[in-house]
Structure 1
Amino acid sequence: MSGNKITNWDDAYSNSAYIPGGDDYPAKWQAAAAAFRDEMRAAGRLREDIAYGSHPRNRYDLFLPKTEAKGLAVFVHGGYWMAFDKSAWSHLAAGPLAHGYAVAMPSYVLTPEARISDITRQIGAAINAAAREVEGPLHIAGHSAGGHLVSRMNTATSPLDRDVAARLRKTVSISGLHDLRPLLNTSMNETLRLDLAEARAESAALLEPLDGMDITCWVGANERPEFLRQNGLLANLWSSFKVEVSSVEEADRHHFDVIEGLADPDHRLVRTLLGV
């Protein structure tokens, strides 16, 4: 970077290189998620690989609380729309489950097989399907690319069914990307295949929100400057609309550990998501 001007966009959106032991996190996530699934499976509180579409990746897992569900929480994973699936994040369901909420975690078709606009529609279909399985209020969260996807559910071009959108009580976009245009300058766009028109159409910050939405943009204070900037965009640009919008910078958290609060029933991140 030179001053405030970004000259290396790949570096601006690089996370692992700036996190000590960053390359070790995926294996840690997989191990914690697998152990949690084993526990939930043994308790009879896990429904796995529920189809919401025709593609093999159009599947979600549904974790059930010990008693009748108060409502539904959905977590959408990140990975720059290019990596991961639902299997690495199961342990993050622990926080909402402890408060009596069912938790759905979908996979989706990744780029380059799908475009980002396709993935947006897939996540809408996944949430619509899970909402038909669990009654009550809906709370959605996503991390990084998943933060982008849940933010998009709040916009006037949301793929959510109208009755499902009416049940949406809270969205938390964790380290979300709300303006996709800078990604046109990165080498990963060879995989994302974004053009300017799609980047504009898929950027929540450039769209009008649905009336009545309530969204918090949450980021680790130790994240890359671009993620801090992206985190503040919706609070800035949506402040004049009929929505509740806020932003949080969580101290001493980086891009890979900022999601850990979802596993803790008493963490502020869980309480913000559920309104408890």
Structure 2
Amino acid sequence: MLYQVKDWDDAYANGIHIPRGEDFPAQWEAAAAAFRATARREELSSGDLFLPDTTPKGLAVFIHGGFWMRTSPAAWSHLAAGPLARGWAVAMPAYTLAPRARISQMTREVAAAVTSAAERIPGPLAITGHSAGGHLAARMICDDGTLPDAVAARVRCCLPISPLGDLRPMMRTAMNDTLAIGDAEAAAESPVLLAPCADIPVTTWVGAAERPEFIRQARLLADIWAGLGAATDCVIEPGRHHYDIIEPLTLPDSPMTRTLLA
């Protein structure tokens, strides 16, 4: 069957295609606030660092989504619960949102936050993120010096969730009135157009009930990077949509959390 996108705005619209999608933001904020009330938390230069009760086994990084225009780490704090329960520290970087910043600036800001957190927490690194945060998670391990060599060498897994690895379709949406992505930035900031660092396993993860474009993007990143020598996998989880695909990170023994920290 031929696949063709004719309405690019609808292709990347999530909430209107999810039953009671409008209820999820309030649920996330409530869960995050409850988690923050009891968690051991320190401030990063931008964002939060959550600490386990014992010496951390390593550092997990979660980068929030919102199409590079919305939300903040505070709305996603509860997603640190799974890695924390397994003894890992969890960094949740903040970054300046569009239109105040271009995506290239967001990449630099997140890389600086990851580097700062890595200086405080020794051991292996595991990087994940959701949607636009999935793009930034993949962007962290591109072989172009985004992360310092010593930090990149510590990364043991990259797990982009519902990632937007190719920015060029975003240029066809109304969101680009705010994002202002041009051809040069799309070429420089799309992970699918860049090479990954060597020896970092990459698993893209997406819900089978997501919009077809998110599934295509997840497959695309895994397939292209496999062709460049990376060890990759693409998990399409049955029954999950764009808003609940991240919930397994709250659980220490979920397949997603285990894959991230493997």
Equivalent residue number for residue 8 of structure 2: 9
Equivalent residue number for residue 163 of structure 1: 150
Match of residue 49, structure 2, among 62, 71, 75 = 62
Map Cα deviations across residues 212-268 of structure 1 (whole Å, 9 max, x no partner).
121100000100000000000122112233321111001110000000000001100
- Aligned letter for 1:27? A
Equivalent residue number for residue 173 of structure 1: 160
User: Where does structure 1 lack aligned partners over 5 or more consecutive residues?
Assistant: 52-58
The answer to whether structure 1 residue 266 and structure 2 residue 261 are counterparts is no
Equivalent residue number for residue 208 of structure 1: 195
Regions of 4+ moved over 3 Å: none
After superposition, residues 1-276 of structure 1 pair within 5 angstroms as 4-40=3-39, 45-48=40-43, 50-51=44-45, 59-275=46-262
Deviation at 1:167, TM superposition (A): 0.3
Equivalent residue number for residue 55 of structure 1: none
Map Cα deviations across residues 36-64 of structure 1 (whole Å, 9 max, x no partner).
00011xxxx2113x21xxxxxxx121111
Distance (Å, rounded) in 2 between the aligned partners of 1:261 and 1:80: 21
Deviation at 1:24, TM superposition (A): 1.2
Please state whether the residue corresponding to 2:113 is helix, strand or coil. helix
Q: Number of paired residues?
A: 262
TM-score by length of 2: 0.98
- Aligned letter for 1:156? D
Please state whether the residue corresponding to 2:48 is helix, strand or coil. strand
Deviation at 1:158, TM superposition (A): 4.2
Map Cα deviations across residues 11-41 of structure 1 (whole Å, 9 max, x no partner).
000000100111111111011000000011x
- Aligned letter for 2:21? G
- Aligned letter for 1:259? I
Map Cα deviations across residues 167-189 of structure 1 (whole Å, 9 max, x no partner).
00001000001111011100000
Distance (Å, rounded) in 1 between the aligned partners of 2:139 and 2:245: 21
- Aligned letter for 1:177? L
Deviation at 1:3, TM superposition (A): 5.0
TM-score by length of 1: 0.93
% identity of equivalent residues: 54
Distance (Å, rounded) in 2 between the aligned partners of 1:152 and 1:248: 19
Please tell me whether the aligned partners of residues 74 and 103 of structure 1 are also in contact (alpha carbons under 8 angstroms). Answer: yes
Distance (Å, rounded) in 2 between the aligned partners of 1:86 and 1:141: 13
Map Cα deviations across residues 44-97 of structure 1 (whole Å, 9 max, x no partner).
x2113x21xxxxxxx121111111000000100000000000110111101001
Please state whether the residue corresponding to 1:119 is helix, strand or coil. helix
Deviation at 1:197, TM superposition (A): 1.1
Please state whether the residue corresponding to 2:165 is helix, strand or coil. coil
Equivalent residue number for residue 56 of structure 1: none
Distance (Å, rounded) in 2 between the aligned partners of 1:13 and 1:241: 27
Please tell me whether the aligned partners of residues 216 and 246 of structure 1 are also in contact (alpha carbons under 8 angstroms). Answer: yes
Structure 1 residues 158 and 259, CA, compared in 2 at 3 Å: closer, same or farther? farther
- Aligned letter for 1:166? A
Structure 1 residues 242 and 3, CA, compared in 2 at 3 Å: closer, same or farther? closer
Please state whether the residue corresponding to 2:144 is helix, strand or coil. coil
